[in-house]
Structures are given as structure tokens and as C-alpha cells.
Amino acid sequence: MSSFDRVASPKTVAPPPVSTDEVPEYVLELERAASYLTDEQRAQLRKAWRLGAAAHAGQTRKSGEPYITHPVAVAKVLAEQGLDVETLIAAILHDTLEDTELSHEQLTEEFGSTVAELVDGVTKLDKLQFRDRQEAAAESFRKMLLAMSRDLRVILIKLADRLHNMRTLGAQNPESRKRIARETLEIYAPIAQRLGMNLFKAELQDHGFRALHPWRHAVISKRIRTQPVMRRELLAQIEAQLAQKLAKEKLIHRLVSRVKSPWSIYTKMRTEHKSFRQVMDVFGFRVVVRNVGDSYRALGVAHATYKPLDSRFRDFIAIPKANGYQSLHTVLFGPYGSPVEVQIRTEEMDLVAERGIAAHWSYKFGGDGFNSAQNRAHHWITNLVESQRSAGSSLEFLENVKVDLFPDEVYVFTPKGDILSLPRNSTALDFAYAVHTDIGNTSVAARVDGKLVPLRTKLASGQRVDIITARSATPKPQWLEFVVTGKARTAIRQQLKQLEHEDAVQIGHRMLDRALEALETSLERVPANRLNAYLAENRYPRLEALLADIALGNRMPSQVALALVRERGANLKPRAEDLIDGVQDKILITGNEKGVISFASCCLPVPGDEIMGYHTAGRGIVVHRLDCPNVAEYRKSPDRWVPIGWDREVRGDFHAALKIEVDNRPGALAQIAAAIADAKANIDRVEYIERDANVAVLRFGIEVTDRKHLADVMRKVRKLSVALGVQRI
């Protein structure tokens, strides 16, 4: 994981004899941090160091230190979190499989299979060949998540490794610093937050922000230090007031002041478009009490001491965050009107909030019920692993994970009263896929708090959601525009690909049949051995793959037909009239085609128009109106023409465009839009083509069902007094 910091890499395995007196200080620091282990376990740590030091002999960091200091420092970070001995040993040896000649078998022999699997899970994939660094990072991340699904300790080692690299980032060149910092802020800090490891998250964000935007970090840090609310006497006054009131109520507590980090202030300023002065919770306190009952009593004390700010109270004890975080949050008006955030939680909640899945590691995940941070983390990673199987590529999977790492959640109820947590801005469709993929794929609408709503409706915390399904329903490409969860996005893409493939196979079959008919034969009459030989020659595993390729324009049906029947005669040629003028064998558009048939943006055909199809490589059949100016060019390639027409039962919304001249006066645009809506057509987009003091020319992109519907829209617009002219583009 740290190979970017390695300078030399000679290969050696046998450890030189090292006496106890020669043990360096950095190893003794690790042993002091791991004082909770037994003597035998600490001896294992020293044995791991000796093996790692020998394996990394001759390798140095860019700072000039021996490379072994890095993995030992990673183990020390984990020892400070109280991790078990297997994790610490794996941390010391986490770069050996990648950077040295130590083998998986040797690790297994020396320290057992668990340590070897942990090391293997953290190892990068630099030895494989990828198109670029981005793809290599994405594939490495996919592998790491698969290893995490088997043992969550893999991510703990990975995060500690990244944390130590960020602490020593100064040795890197400026370009590497920015790349590593961006990766940390986009992936690793959000993962630490998703796993509840706030101490790791905060430090990763701070180092990443400082490396990526040093000037902004410096300015915000200075503003924090110079804020009037930060004066020592004011801190003391608020602390004394709260402590006194809590003591009067005989609440045993621990009171800790906290300051919001520069990164969290910066992101809040950007996302909420606020100035530094408008960010209200820069300064705050944490009250740690004995039990849940005391938490709510302490909340009452805080509200009695200073007036609470309306609508800023959040109860994460009753409804924990997805990462297991529990606390009461409130914002108070402090002295001089300064807003003060107060967090109230128990000692147990505080431990989980700071360390997340690293807290109480001896429980392992799942051992502490639903509220266990380990259990929640394992459930999240299991869902990620499930979605990665369906992702088309490592980059697509990585993008889905980024989407899934939103820090804010909404909490909604299923019809049975169970609570589901979803990312901010989730829709009813995201909820459907969160319940089950099959429910998402067959969704048609939803009921939110008993009210019927469309699937694109955004959800708010506390709502009760019920999904309405239909057995015949299938996902639509438009769904990808409004879902926000990675699981929903992956499932929709997978289903659309399946539907596209089925449509492509069906259309490709008809196109090949027609080309074979022009040669006075058919697919059924092609000898099986000839067909199989052609598939093998062109590396098609099945006939369906060939048919789909034909439909998508990657193979010309006439050429395939000639190849399949070529033993009958070398001079066979398809009849041109069969390729162009055939009517009975037209491909009919129903409106349900997925990805195989598309409509040209130059002429925007709608049902009722006279049309022709043009076979385009990679795009399948592109449909043009016969009066399209580009058709003359396409006539030069008759072999690419595809007879095509409209099915009698064609359904769907089709794009059309209108050029409308209007009086340039207030309200004219609204009247045009109202007339189009009155004709039951959707407006896709509006743009000005020309505009002066008297007349404006606008282009309306609309959706209609057919040519008659388009005529109705134009008729209604023409009746308006503000409309000077209406023309289809």
C-alpha cells in the first residue's frame, strides 16, 4: 500500500541475527502502545519486525528512513486503537507480499493463515497491467473490499497505512501530494466516517485539506484561532455554567470542549454557500454521561442553561446513523449570541463514535446486536460486494461506492415499521432497491405516508414508504437520472443491459434473416457446422452474441449472410431491391426497444412520420425522417439501409422540436408553456434562438406521443395572440 514511498527494492528474505540490545526505539514505542497484549504476543510482534526488516533490507522511504519504519508505525497506529495481535503483525508485514520476495506460504508458516490472508487483502495490484493509474486504483479498491467482506480488519490496516502516509506526505513531490490528498478526501476519509472511525476521519481530512489547498487551510485555521468566541474566558464561562448545572442535577459527567475542523468548515461553506460567519457550529462541547437516561436529563440541563436554537436538535440515540453513531445534538445561543453545539452521549457511545469498528474489537462484528458498529459495517460491505458483481467495470463500481459514501442520511420506515437509512436526496426508487432488487426492478409508483407519489420523489426522515409494483414493469433509462444509491444504480444498469441484449438479439435475428432471404436461403437452412465454424472464427461464444453485434451495427448482416452461404458459390450477391425496397419485412418500432434503435437528433422522427433506418457501427439502427437533409448522404451506402416502420401499437414519449416566434413581452413565454402543457405534452428544454425589442424566436424541445399529438400542440400554440409563427424543426 505504500510502494509510492519506496526508493530501492532489493530482494532478501533471511533475517540477520539481531540482539535485544539492537531493537530500535520505534519498535519499543510499538511495544509500549501494545502493552495490553501478553508477553508471548509482544514477542510475536518483535518476530514480525525482524522478518519484515530483513525482507525490506536496503529499501528506504523518500525521507531517507529505513522502509521498515513505515509498517511498524502503521502497527503502532492500530495498537493505539487496541487491535488484536494478528492485525498488528499483518500491519508490520503488509507490504512484504508486494514489495519483497516473501511468499504467502512463508507468512502462513510463520504466523498462520489469518495473518497471511490479512496481508494479501491489503496488497495492491501493481503487478497487473491496467490502462491507466485510475483503473489500477479502482481495481485495487475492488479487491480490498472483497477482502474486507471476509475480514473487516483489512480496512483497519488500510486506513492506518493511509493515515501514516498522510502524516509523512511532505517527502512527496507537489503533484504526488495533490493526487494522494484528493484520493484520501474522496475515498479513504469517507470510508473512515462510514465505519464510524471519526478520529481517523478527522486526521485524514485535515492532512488531505492541508496538502490539496494549503492556502485555504491556513486562512480558515487562522480565522478559527482569531474568532472572538474562542477567547479563553468565554470557553471557561460556558464550561463552568454547564458543569455547575449538571453537578446540581447530580449527573456524573465528563465535559470536553471541541472546535470544528478546517475541512468540515470549508465543506460546509461550499455546500451550503455560506460565509465563515454564517457557519454556526464552529465551537462546541461534548457531554459524556453514564447511561441513556442521563443523556436526556443532560439535554434538559443544557436547554435550561442556554436557549436552544429552533430546528437544530437531532436525536441520533433513538435513530442511530448508518455507521452506528449515537448522540444527542443541539445548538445553543451562548454568551454574546455565539452559537454553541452540544453533543451528549454515553461513554460506550463515545468510544464507538471515536473508534467505530475498531472499538471493542474482541467482540468481532455482529456480536453486539443491530447497534454494533461492526455489524453495521459488515452489512454495508456485504451490500457493496453484492453490487460489485453486477458492475460493468472497476471504475463504475468505484463511482457507485463514492455515491454511497454520502455523510448525511435520511431514515424512513417500511410498511412493517422497520427503519431503513438512505443517503441524502434518496428517492422512493432508492428505497425500493434498498428493500430488494426485484422490488426496485418492478416498481411503478410509491405511497409516502399514504399519499400516492412518483418514484422520483425525494424522501425525508420519518416518512413511511410503501412501493407499488407490477409484474410486467421494467427499469427505464431515465431512472439513472434521479437515483442516488450505488445499489440502485448498479441494479438498473444491469437490468437495462439485459433488456438491451434481448432486444438486440431479436432485431439482429430479423436483420440476418432478411439478408439471407436476399440470397434465397434462411438461417434455418444454414448448415450447423458452417454456422459453428463462423462463430468460432469470429470468437462468438453463442449465436446470440453474433445477432446482438449485428443489431448494434458492429457486423453488417449482408456480409455475415454471404460468409454463411459462401460455399454455395463465390459470386453470390444480395439483390439491392431486397435490401432497400422490402416492405413486408420491415422492423417495426414498438417504443420498447432498449439501446438498439435510436432516433436521429437532426430530424427527431415521431410516430406517423415516413422514416428509414441507417445501420451505424456501435449505435445500432438510427432512425431518420425520409425528408431529413442527411438522407441524401446515406443513400450512397444502400447496404446500410434498414427497412423500418412504426408498429400499430407504438407507445412512448418521443422528442420533437418547435421553432416559435412570439411577441417579446412579459408573460409571453408563460402563455406558450401553458398551451403546450394544455395539449398534454412535456417541455424538455427551452432556448432563445434570436431576440430583439419586439420579437423573440424560441426553440422548444417537447415530448409527444405521435405526429397527431404534435399537430395538436402546434394548433394550440397558433391560437395564442402572442404567437407570431410556429414551425416544426
From CA 103, how far away is CA 6, in angstroms rounded? 19
Which positions ≥6 away from 709 have C-beta within 8 Å?
A: 606, 679, 680, 681
Give the phi and the psi of residue 475 in degrees, each rounded to 5.
Answer: -60, 150
Alpha helices in 538-660 (DSSP H): 543-551, 557-564, 576-580, 631-634
Return the residue matching grid coordinates 433509462.
477
From CA 295, how far away is CA 313, in angstroms rounded? 14
Cβ neighbours, 10 Å, residue 70: 26
Q: Is 70 exceeded by the pLDDT of residue 389?
A: no
Average pLDDT in the chain: 78
From CA 164, how far away is CA 94, in angstroms rounded? 13
C-alpha cell, 517: 432471404
Listed residue (81, 104, 82, 83) closest to 93, CA to CA: 104
C-alpha cell, 328: 444527542
State how beta strands 620-625 and 597-599 pair.
parallel
Per-residue model confidence (pLDDT) at position 576: 46
**CB of 523 closer than 8 Å to CB of 557:** no
Per-residue model confidence (pLDDT) at position 101: 83
Give the SS3 label for residue 507. Answer: helix
Which sequence spans correspond to the domains of the chain? 3-123+153-212, 222-362, 375-492, 493-646, 654-728
Residue of higher predicted confidence among 521 and 227: 521
Give the SS3 label for residue 483. Answer: coil
From CA 520, how far away is CA 568, in angstroms rounded? 11
- Measuring CA to CA, how many Å separate 682 from each of 364, 519, 593? 54, 46, 21
Average pLDDT over residues 309-325: 79
Per-residue model confidence (pLDDT) at position 13: 41
Listed residue (252, 251, 269) closest to 260, CA to CA: 269
C-alpha cell, 707: 405526429
Q: Which residues pair with 699 in a beta bridge?
A: 659, 687
Q: What confidence tier does 145 reach under pLDDT thresholds 50, 70, 90? A: low
From the candidates 5, 98, 294, 609, which is the catalytic residue? 98
C-alpha cell, 1: 500500500
Q: Is 90 exceeded by the pLDDT of residue 288?
A: yes
Per-residue model confidence (pLDDT) at position 423: 78
Average pLDDT over residues 468-491: 82
State how beta strands 419-423 and 409-413 pair.
antiparallel
Residue of higher predicted confidence among 642 and 76: 76
Q: Which of 141-150, 232-241, 279-288, 647-656 has the lowest mean pLDDT?
A: 141-150
Which positions ≥6 away from 418 have C-beta within 8 Å?
A: none
CATH of 222-362, one of 3.40.50.300, 1.20.120.790, 3.30.1370.60, 3.30.460.10: 3.30.460.10
Q: What confidence tier does 71 reach under pLDDT thresholds 50, 70, 90? A: very high
Task: List pLDDT tens digits, range 525-542.
Answer: 888 888 888 888 778 888
Average pLDDT over residues 23-41: 89
**CB of 656 closer than 8 Å to CB of 717:** no
CA 21: distance to chain centroid?
51
Average pLDDT over residues 242-256: 88
Residue of higher predicted confidence among 403 and 19: 403
Q: Would residue 99 show up in a list of annotated catalytic residues for this protein? A: yes
Q: Is 80 exceeded by the pLDDT of residue 226?
A: no
Per-residue model confidence (pLDDT) at position 362: 41
Name the CATH architecture for the domain at 3-123+153-212.
Orthogonal Bundle (1.10)
CATH number of 375-492: 3.10.20.30
Alpha helices in 405-485 (DSSP H): 428-435, 437-441
- Measuring CA to CA, how many Å separate 605 from each of 403, 657, 725, 729? 36, 10, 21, 10
Topology of domain 654-728, CATH: Alpha-Beta Plaits (3.30.70)
From the candidates 84, 86, 99, 139, which is the catalytic residue? 99
Average pLDDT over residues 134-158: 68
CA angle 701, 641, 598 (to 5 degrees): 30
Q: What confidence tier does 142 reach under pLDDT thresholds 50, 70, 90? A: low
Per-residue model confidence (pLDDT) at position 150: 65
Give the SS3 label for residue 346. Answer: strand
Per-residue model confidence (pLDDT) at position 379: 65
Alpha helices in 442-523 (DSSP H): 486-517
Per-residue model confidence (pLDDT) at position 18: 40
Task: List pLDDT tens digits, range 625-655.
Answer: 988 888 877 777 777 777 788 888 888 888 8
Task: List pLDDT tens digits, range 420-474.
Answer: 778 778 899 999 998 888 899 889 889 988 888 889 898 887 788 999 988 878 8
